[in-house]
Chains A and B, each alone.
Chain A
Amino acid sequence: GNSVTQMEGPVTLSEEAFLTINCTYTATGYPSLFWYVQYPGEGLQLLLKATKADDKGSNKGFEATYRKETTSFHLEKGSVQVSDSAVYFCALSDDGANNLFFGTGTRLTVIP
């Protein structure tokens, strides 16, 4: 079946630190992979996506590479800001399914 496992939080970093949030998946087909971000009091927003192996998604300084050999889609940012404080969700959409399968979310807090 389809599932997503992501690193448990919470994660607390100082401003300008390097961020990695791990995400691994299992899927029956050829999934598309997504990172969504939820800022306090808001719904989820798409942060980045990758639709096939070796694709790199990027947005707002965040990056993630679709690694089929390790079934991973880890989120990285070289220098986090206080405004990056949010909950981050990894998700997959299998080509045979209508819905997204979400990880449990990782809360990131960036302190000045």
Chain B
Amino acid sequence: DVKVTQSSRYLVKRTGEKVFLECVQDMDHENMFWYRQDPGLGLRLIYFSYDVKMKEKGDIPEGYSVSREKKERFSLILESASTNQTSMYLCASRDRFLEQYFGPGTRLTVT
């Protein structure tokens, strides 16, 4: 079974803090994704990566950056957290049949 893990299930940070969300997959997938999930908006793509050190902006990249130094790990960085970044963050990796496998999510609260 494909497994995608995320470093934290719940996180509380203060405004202005730098926040790291980590995601690890164990199936050697090349493509990995970060989404945020908000009520009534569904999932929105923040960034994706199609290879080590390669990244592409998604629909809502502002205020975020990413890092992919190893194939299995894809990190989402909030350079200076703000209250409007309070959300559920979901990581996914994708196989060659276009199926995405999701982690359990990190619920981030910025106060």
Determine if B48 and A99 form an interchain contact, defined as CB atoms under 8 angstroms apart: yes
Shortest Cβ distance from B107 into chain A, in angstroms? 9
- CB of B85 within 8 Å of the partner chain: no
What is the interface residue range for chain B against chain A? 20 to 34
CB neighbours (8 Å) of B100 from chain A are 44, 46, 100
B70-102, CB under 8 A of A: which get 1 and which 0? Answer: 000000000000000000001010100011111
Q: What is the total of A-B residue contacts with beta carbons within 8 Å?
A: 44
CB neighbours (8 Å) of B4 from chain A are 43
Q: Which chain B residue lies CB-closest to A43?
A: B102
Tell me the dominant secondary structure on chain B's binding face. strand
Shortest Cβ distance from B106 into chain A, in angstroms? 10
Within the complex, which residue of B31, B50, B98, B105 is in contact with A42, where a contact is CB–CB below 8 Å? B105
Determine if B102 and A45 form an interchain contact, defined as CB atoms under 8 angstroms apart: yes
CB neighbours (8 Å) of A104 from chain B are 40-42
Shortest Cβ distance from A22 into chain B, in angstroms? 15
CB neighbours (8 Å) of B33 from chain A are 99
- CB of B61 within 8 Å of the partner chain: no
CB neighbours (8 Å) of B43 from chain A are 44, 89, 100, 102
Residues of B participating in the A interface, judged by any CB pair closer than 8 Å: 4, 31, 33, 40-43, 45, 48, 50, 56, 58, 90, 92, 94, 98-105
Residues of A participating in the B interface, judged by any CB pair closer than 8 Å: 32, 34, 36, 41-46, 49, 89, 93, 98-100, 102-105
